[in-house]
Chain A
């Protein structure tokens, strides 16, 4: 698993770590059941604080992508579709792209609903 972080980027380091794992799951280079590096080891390897790594892992757990167990460390959840990681990653990028265009959250949600309605072939709801 390849994890790269750059402290000079504006994205928080924990988010950068989580994004790397997410992309790894999405592109299939990280498999179901695979163990992520121990938080202490990864922190030393990346020269970041162990809390930063743990914050990144907490994000992934909240997204349902990994399991954190005492003593066993972090493992990629069984039955987690690679697609889920990909969708989460795309959603993040959608939000980032929206921010650059000064779209607020409601407009982004409306865009998503519109796209979903088109995909379902139903009526397109009126834009607010």
Chain B
């Protein structure tokens, strides 16, 4: 198995490499750049924001290093739980990292290049082709990243078998567990309050967006997972709504494994290619493969017992 250190390097390094030309030109060609640089461009390519030279350098370095750290962590951690999708998500994460790095690298470099030999950045335009070039570079980089990234061994992507709970024909079995996370609803409440404040302060667009995100975080403070004859039910929030239900007829196989939020790119109700999940924390999780092949993951303590119940009612383990 490829080590997490290798994955971290493959995920993080492209962002440092992509930021390097921009930072080099910013510093080496200091004399040819205006003190106030055009830094933000509208959809038609005309300038609509400015940044001082020093701030531009700081932003370029900060963005490069920040993205490198985030993608290094996500690339390394996501490989710990490859069973959340039948696709190779950890490998795809590295390809995505390369694509993002290429896009950012090309557009940032172009944004600096158009400022060269300009007195003060006024009237500078970013041609549309630079964005297209960035997207093209992203596609090429994604392919190279995919080819270089170590494939996750199939054994890591296939769910391990689980011992089915023996259930007699007349017996009814119900397994349930509630996961409570404090920081998600607290964050949700803060965002909600910020959203209300912004809405009152007439910034309605941003305000409503914050209110929606806050409400979403609030929902994820409590998740109740139930496994019984009906199948798997995952109820979010205090109201138990919205809920995800996978009927027993739709369950092809079931397992329990340790997962990391990095596999899903974060916490909450998440989607990745070939799967989805409700992830409140890293650790034990119940993973159900549907008949379509898509997987659904929910992080929950004692997941092995829940998986055993589902395996018992479906009569299938793997």
Which residues of A does B touch, CB under 8 Å? Answer: 1-8, 29, 34-35, 37, 41-42, 45-48
Contact = CB atoms under 8 A, between A and B. Distances in A.
A116 B312 CA distance: 43
A98 B240 CA distance: 45
B88 interface: no
A25 to B, nearest CB: 14
Contact of A4 (B172, B176, B178, B240): B172
B178 A45 contact: no
Given A37-B226, A46-B228, A3 B174 contact: yes
A41 B174 CA distance: 10
Interface centre among A2, A29, A35, by most chain B C-beta atoms within 10 angstroms, is A2
Given A35-B178, A37-B176, A47 B170 contact: no
A58 B175 CA distance: 20
Contacts of A41: 176, 224, 226, 240
B228 A1 contact: no
B230 A6 contact: no
Interface string B23-58: 000000000000000000000000000000000000
5 contacts: A2-B309, A4-B172, A29-B305, A45-B174, A46-B174
Contacts of B165: 2
Contact of A5 (B172, B175, B176, B302): B172
B290 interface: no
Contacts of A8: 170
Contacts of B174: 2-4, 37, 42, 45-46
Contacts of A2: 165, 173-175, 305, 309
A26 B171 CA distance: 23
A29 B176 CA distance: 12
A25 B170 CA distance: 25
Interface string B228-260: 111000000000100000000000000000000
B177 interface: yes
Given A45-B230, A47-B229, A5 B171 contact: yes
B172 A6 contact: yes
Given A2-B309, A37-B226, A41-B226, A48 B302 contact: no
B144 to A, nearest CB: 49
A1 B171 contact: no
B175 A3 contact: yes
A47 B174 CA distance: 10
A2 B177 CA distance: 9
B292 interface: no
B168 interface: yes
A6 B171 contact: yes
Contacts of A42: 174, 176
Highest count of chain A CB atoms <10 Å: which of B174, B177, B230: B174
A6 B176 CA distance: 18
Contacts of A3: 173-175
A98 B82 CA distance: 53
Nearest to B306: A2
B176 A45 contact: yes
Q: Which of A3, A42, A45, A46 has the most CB of B within 10 A?
A: A45
B294 to A, nearest CB: 24
Given A37-B226, A41-B226, A47 B305 contact: no
A46 B170 CA distance: 11
Given A37-B176, A46-B174, 16 more contacts: A2-B165, A2-B173, A2-B175, A2-B305, A2-B309, A3-B174, A4-B173, A6-B168, A6-B170, A29-B305, A37-B174, A37-B226, A42-B174, A45-B228, A47-B229, A48-B172
